[in-house]
Structure 1
Amino acid sequence: MFQPMYNIFCGQVYSAVAQPRSRRSGREMSTCHMMAALSLQRSTQIGCPGCPTLQEDWSVWTSKNMSTFYLLLCFRIGKHVSTKAANSVEREDVSDNYKPEEGSAEERASVLRANQLGSNRPGIYKKEEDVHFSLEHDPQNTWVGSDFDVALRIRNTSPQVRTIKGRMVVSTMYYTGQLADQLRVEPFERIKLDPGQDTQIKVKVTSQEYDGKLKDCCMLDMSVWASVEESGQVYTAKPTFRLRKPHLTVKAPKVVSAGAEFEVEVSFPNPLATTLTGCYIEVDGLTKPLKFRLGNVTPRGTFMTSLPIVPKKVGPTTLIVVFNSDQLEDINASLTVFIKAV
């Protein structure tokens, strides 16, 4: 049985399938051997840096019973990202706008993360880790409208001095994971830690910085990378968390009659220092979905309203109330109401 062999060189793909062999001068020779030699000659003529020569890999291409081979000729891409310069026909290099400088801490962190997520050799960049990194954040006490802190704690456990540099970035994001607006970028350069010493780098984000930039679900992304100059250790982290929304208070009778109108009282405090516009409430569970348009809610003010509801269903049911506005979405609450037949 033929055993396929694969070899990758540096843009075009060549393939050949072995044909029935013939004996010439007492030696077996298949069509794919000849095509391999031709393909190798072509790749050698191109002169790709790093391409193996015909002599270097001749043993591969003359392997007996080789059925299929693939030759990939590729050239390095992404080394420079260019565009046309404004008011000129000259090339403008914009590589720095799309990728970090080669050898920088950002570039090393990107390579490390790509290796962690998409490589089948996760340990290839593993180095001695004698500097410990940890993120400190309390998501349970991080509310919309309040300032919040995120801290990176660094501890040197080695017997030598360590020098650390890196960056912390806080951004808003959509529930799909797509980043939206950068709120804060906090770089740190050449922080020296003696043996056994630790330090904390804190990023404080104020409510004014994220006001008007929050997306659905009030989700935030924290991107952290750091590198140790002496050992080459690289640390990356990308946690996500949500700002907690204010509680919606809903009051209604526990028992109501089908077909008889009753009032549902809804209230909540506006946590933002800005006016809530485009406000409306959706009510579901007792009858067909209802939508009530409301006025604006003043900054840091308390919203209160009373909604008339005529239930149609009978029996125990769950009343669901959802408040939405242009600035805050999906503030919801629910309670159980028993609807008795008349």
Structure 2
Amino acid sequence: MLSPDGKRTWSHMLPFGLIWLVTGWVFLLSEAAVTDNFENQPDTAIQVTFPVFIMASVAVFVFGLLTGWVEIRFLSRLFRSQRFVQRIIYKLLAYGLVFHLIILISFPIAASMELGQPIFSSEVWGKFATYLLSITHLSTMVQLSFSLLLSLFYFEISDYIGPKALSHFLTGKYHQPVEEERVFMFLDMRSSTSIAERLGHRRYFAMLRKYYEDLSAPILRSAGEVYQYAGDEVIVSWPLKKGLKDQTCLRCFFGMKEALEGKRSFYQKRYGEAPAFKAGMHCGKVTAGEIGVIKKEILFTGDVLNTCARIQGLCNSYGTDLLVSADLLQLLELGGEFKVTSKGFNDLRGKDEAVELFSVEKK
């Protein structure tokens, strides 16, 4: 079983592999049309036989996955602070080195299969040297660059709107409204207005960016979906079963608290402030669907969102960091790891019946 972080990594890597594989087949088909079914190939090109086709397809898919892994683990983090165009240029240069490594590995193998010679024979490496100075090499680099650009654009778009949202748009999951049972957590930074006044807008924004970055890892580990960022507030959501399993939604909250606590000295030194937050949790039925004409997004509607927002707004009144509705608490089946305290029934605006709320702490 893969961890949520492992699933996320593979969900990012697989599109790279598939994009590279499909674009490779498209270029191969184009070459077949131009060269009359590969009968007029230049000497520097590898003649396409069925074993070579299978080997090349596997190699392209694997190297696509490898590119995705490098992108997720290293380059996306390395160039995160750069502008979009700069990121693309820097990544193209970095991957240019990777491409030549790919060619260095894959071409001699394919040439060895074609010529029926050992991979370290002079005929294989003579053909490789000729290939490097040929138009075939240039054509290959154009193909690889196109595959890379396509996969990088996919990754950047996925990064901006979220991989889940992108996959939902592509599959049309929410093209028609769908009813779902979900867990929601409304999380809000404490004293954000006074912090912004002390820091000024630019420093506050820099702190907010770092704050959201530090909260991201626990959200990813819990397989949470960021529904919205709204100023200093973030709304995290889970399908009901995922949010309840092993008290995932609660563990996400306490994981975020631990993440910020571990960076407390950093924030104090850099900004003179250590951000903290409060949160409200609730669950229930929502209607989800695509909405918008000028700009499309996936929207959740339902009483559960309004109720969750108002629960979060009561945290200060009860002097607690986390309030959970009775509806959600009954489903979580908490063990002895958590301390639960009833805060009584509350008449929430828009609700006909009073809602019982509980504070939850880790023992």
TM-score higher than 0.5: no
By percentage of residues, which structure has more strand?
1
Q: Which has the higher contact order (CA 8 A, sep 6+)?
A: 2
TM-score by length of 1: 0.26
TM-score by length of 2: 0.25
Higher Cα radius of gyration: 1
